[in-house]
Amino acid sequence: MDLLPSSAPLAAKLRNTLIQYHSIGDSEWRVAKKTKDATVWRKPSKEFSGYLYKAQGVVEDVTNRIVDHIRPGPYRLDWDSLMTTMDIMETFEENCCVVRYTTAGQLWNLIAPREFVDFSYTTRYEDGLLTCGISLDYGEVRPNFVRGFNHPCGWFCVPIKDYPSHSLLTGYIQTELRGMLPQSAVDTAMSSTLANFYSDLKKALKPDK
């Protein structure tokens, strides 16, 4: 088990990595899934043998409220159907924390429940926000869970020009689920999870919730 890294250098490196992903040209991405709420693309990851996924969709709300629902905190468990528990293990200044969370089994439990321990950082980006994370080898693995690993991932949320009550939400996710899994099952699960993320989030943000 590693000791916790210094938060400031890790946050800066993570932010720079996500901004680099955000500048990847359209021609490098291949569409993996399209729904009425979002489009999901993928390209081979440079971090591991799986894919880096990109998801994008318009969400009808202001950036701060959207990001408050995505980053570690009181809202996420209420609406994210994949997440089953969340504990903030350590808090640093500058909107940084270490969070442990668990996810439900997927694809009729072909993918068993997973546990992740992530360093999370939220910062300003252009006129909006970026909330990003990376997994750490920290803390004991809980019984009955496989410890997954999130390579650099994050969500950019910026207001749409002339429509400030609408935001463009763009995510970059590269999750190494680990365990003995067929790659096709992982790919199916990741594309569907990201598309569902947008529809669940939109429901959670509706004023009548």
Domain boundaries, the chain: 7-205
Nearest to 130 by CA among 191, 101, 171, 173: 171
Contact between 54 and 168 (Cβ < 8 Å): no
User: What SS3 class is residue 1?
Assistant: coil
pLDDT for residue 90 is more than 80: yes
According to DSSP, the residues that pair with 165 across neighbouring strands are: none
pLDDT for residue 208 is more than 60: no
Token readout for 72 is 């570690």
User: How many Cα neighbours within 13 Å face the side chain of 192?
Assistant: 10
pLDDT for residue 46 is more than 50: yes
CATH of domain 7-205: 3.30.530.20
| Mean pLDDT value of segment 168-190 | 86
pLDDT for residue 86 is more than 90: yes
Phi, psi for 188 (deg, rounded to 5): -60, -45
In order, the DSSP letters of 78-138 are: HH-TTEEEEEEEEEETTTEEEEEEEE--BTTTTB--EEEEEEEEEEEETTEEEEEEEE---
Whole-angstrom distance, CA of residue 98 vs CA of residue 107: 28
Residue type, 136: L
Provide Rg for the chain, Cα atoms. 16
Say whether pTM exceeds 0.95. Answer: no
Contact between 55 and 154 (Cβ < 8 Å): no
Residue 110 pLDDT grade (very low, low, confident, very high; cuts 50, 70, 90): low
CA 155, distance to chain mean position in Å, is: 7
Q: Is 9 exposed, middle or buried (0-12, 13-18, 19+ CB in 10 A)?
A: exposed
Token readout for 189 is 């699960």
pLDDT for residue 116 is more than 80: yes
User: What SS3 class is residue 74?
Assistant: coil
